[in-house]
Amino acid sequence: MMTTWILTSMLSTAHAEPPEGWFLAGSDAKAYEADVVEEAHTGTGSARFRSKQGEKPRGFGTMMQQMQPADYTGNRLRMTAWVKTDDVADWAGMWLRVDGAPIRC
């Protein structure tokens, strides 16, 4: 599984939507937006993630997707990405996370 996208922190445009199958999350997700742009390291486009114009986020935001693990069980996963930033104050990056089953009480 390979994912290529650009992560930016630039001025916003109205009505930005994350790429199909992705959603915004985080402790202050409403202060961020994502959209698809033609700029690309390779391929035909990229996803762009940024704080909304005029917003001063009080927490972090992330663009993510979730999937069921059955198709990947017993396989090695590799995530490859190019990250482009502008005016990032603290940290920007990519990560791959695997969560266990929910705990039922």
Q: Would residue 101 count as lying in a domain?
A: no
86 DSSP 8-state letter: S
Using alpha carbons, list the distances in angstroms from residue 66 to 21, 47, 85.
8, 16, 24
Q: Could you give the number of structural domains in the chain? A: 1
pTM for the whole structure? 0.70
3-state secondary structure of 25: strand
Q: Would residue 98 count as lying in a domain?
A: no
Which tokens is 47 given? 């996803």
Q: Tell the residue number behind the tokens 């005016």, with chain if given.
A: 87
Q: Would residue 56 count as lying in a domain?
A: yes
Q: pLDDT tens for residues 47-88?
A: 999 999 888 899 999 999 988 888 888 999 888 888 889 888
When pLDDT is averaged across residues 31-38 and rounded to a whole number, the result is 92
Q: Would residue 103 count as lying in a domain?
A: no
- Which residues form the domain of 38? 1-72+83-92
Whole-number average pLDDT of the chain:
81
Using alpha carbons, list the distances in angstroms from residue 16 to 1, 11, 32, 77.
26, 12, 10, 30
Which tokens is 85 given? 């930033």
